[in-house]
Structures are given as structure tokens and as C-alpha cells.
């Protein structure tokens, strides 16, 4: 993966970035229901679970927009990655703890699903927060809380530098009016993402769910 440094002098977002990092530090989150009716049906036919498909869809959407790939690079400079790698949590039923795991991403769902299954087979019983060695610097966090249906979700992060990458969390899906709806929370930093960009995320995620037959194959 490559990291592209932003020329902040010519960056049209510089006034917003400076305001929301130096004057009014501001992150925000949006929670929107995604209709996964068709997706669940297609996954059931193929014998796949929702979570790896959710990780795949979210990563595809994140990789479509520069705003969701903007961060501080290895040398501390502001820029954006060519592509992002998902770092996702999974649950240990025996002691009710969780671990985080990253999987190499590819737009080929079958290939990504194979890699996900291989990682889960190897690390599912390993305890600790980060269980897979050598995480790449271009990871971003994904999680799911399947025990609760939420209408809002927020994480409070305190770092020396603001955390600029998106944080995506899924909740417990439920049927409403004959449709199956999955609550999804997107948390972003206002320095790099506005409400427009967040809205485009949810529109693209819904399109991924509606056109699942195209990428499930």
C-alpha cells in the first residue's frame, strides 16, 4: 500500500481541518439502518455468515472515498492511503472478552472470505486485544454488537493527535415491515469528513447490500 502526503498549502479542506483540530476539536457519529433483506437471503443460500460480508462491504465503501482514507502516515505527515485494510473484533464466548484481527483485503469477495476464514481458524481461540502480528499501518476499525439494537453509538478517543480514520459498528438486526434492518454507526472526525461524506457512506453501503448478487457471484 502507498501513502500520499497532502500538500496542505493547496488543500481546499485546510480551513476546516485547522478549525476542527485546533479550535473546536470535533468528532461525530451517525447511525443509520441498512436494509439487508436481500443480502441475508443471498448469504443463506451460499452458507455464509453476515459478519464477513459486513466487513467486506464496509471496506469496499471506505476504499471508494479519499476522506475515509485520510490519516497521519508513518512519519506523522497528513495524507491518505491508496487502500484500507479492515481490523475487526471478534467475541470469545467462554470469558466474554474480545480480540481484534486484521485480514488482507481484496475486492474479490470469495478470496477475501477465504482469507477471513483462514485467519479466524488460526486466531479464534487466541486471547488478547491484538492477536495477529504485524498489522499494517493502513488498518481501520470495524466491530459488531449483535446483542443490542441501537439508534446511536459513539466512542470517545483521546490521543496526542486526533484519530482521523472512520470507526464502523454494526448492531443487532431486526425485521420491520417485512424488511430486515441492520443499524450501522459511522464515527468520523469532522476535520476530514462532513455530513455529506457520511451520507455518501450510507448510500454506498445500501447499494452494496442491494446489489449483493453482483459481488457474491
pLDDT digits (tens, 9 = 90+) for 72-99: 998 889 999 999 999 999 999 999 999 9
Phi, psi of 93 (to 5 degrees): -70, -30
The CATH number covering residue 149 comes to 3.30.559.10
- In whole angstroms, give the CA distance from residue 101 to residue 26: 28
Give residue 69's domain range: 3-214
User: Is the pLDDT assigned to residue 126 strictly greater than 90?
Assistant: yes
- In whole angstroms, give the CA distance from residue 145 to residue 192: 26
Identify the band that residue 18 occupies on the pLDDT scale cut at 50, 70 and 90: very high
pTM above 0.85, yes or no: yes
Per-residue model confidence (pLDDT) at position 157: 82
- In whole angstroms, give the CA distance from residue 211 to residue 201: 15
> Strand (E) positions, the chain?
3-5, 27-35, 70-72, 78-81, 85-92, 97-102, 139-144, 167-170, 174-176, 179-189
- In whole angstroms, give the CA distance from residue 129 to residue 178: 38
User: Is the pLDDT assigned to residue 47 strictly greater than 90?
Assistant: yes
Catalytic residues: 190
Residue 32, CA atoms < 13 Å, CB-side half-sphere:
17
Q: What is the mean pLDDT of the chain?
A: 96
Q: What is the pLDDT of residues 143-169, one digit of tens each?
A: 999 999 999 998 888 777 899 999 999
Structural domains counted in the chain? 1
Amino acid at each position: 500500500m502507498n501513502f500520499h502526503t497532502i500538500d496542505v498549502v493547496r488543500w481546499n479542506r485546510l480551513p476546516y481541518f485547522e478549525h476542527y483540530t485546533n479550535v473546536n476539536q470535533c468528532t461525530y457519529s451517525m447511525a443509520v439502518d441498512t436494509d439487508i433483506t436481500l443480502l441475508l437471503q443471498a448469504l443463506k443460500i451460499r452458507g455464509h455468515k453476515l459478519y464477513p460480508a459486513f466487513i467486506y462491504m464496509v471496506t469496499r465503501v471506505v476504499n471508494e472515498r479519499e476522506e475515509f482514507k485520510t490519516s497521519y502516515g508513518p512519519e506523522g505527515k497528513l495524507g491518505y492511503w491508496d487502500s484500507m485494510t479492515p481490523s475487526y473484533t471478534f467475541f470469545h464466548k467462554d470469558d466474554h472478552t474480545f480480540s481484534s484481527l486484521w485480514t488482507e483485503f481484496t475486492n474479490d469477495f470469495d478470496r477475501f472470505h477465504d482469507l477471513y476464514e483462514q485467519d479466524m481458524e488460526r486466531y479464534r481461540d487466541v486471547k488478547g486485544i491484538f492477536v495477529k502480528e504485524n498489522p499494517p499501518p493502513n488498518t481501520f476499525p470495524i466491530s459488531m454488537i449483535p446483542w443490542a439494537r441501537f439508534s446511536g453509538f459513539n466512542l470517545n478517543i483521546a490521543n496526542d493527535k486526533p484519530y482521523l480514520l472512520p470507526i464502523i459498528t454494526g448492531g443487532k438486526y431486526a425485521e420491520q415491515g417485512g424488511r430486515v434492518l441492520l443499524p450501522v454507526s459511522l464515527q468520523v472526525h469532522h476535520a476530514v469528513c462532513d455530513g455529506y461524506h457520511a451520507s455518501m457512506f450510507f448510500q454506498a453501503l445500501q447499494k452494496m447490500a442491494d446489489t449483493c448478487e453482483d459481488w457474491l457471484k
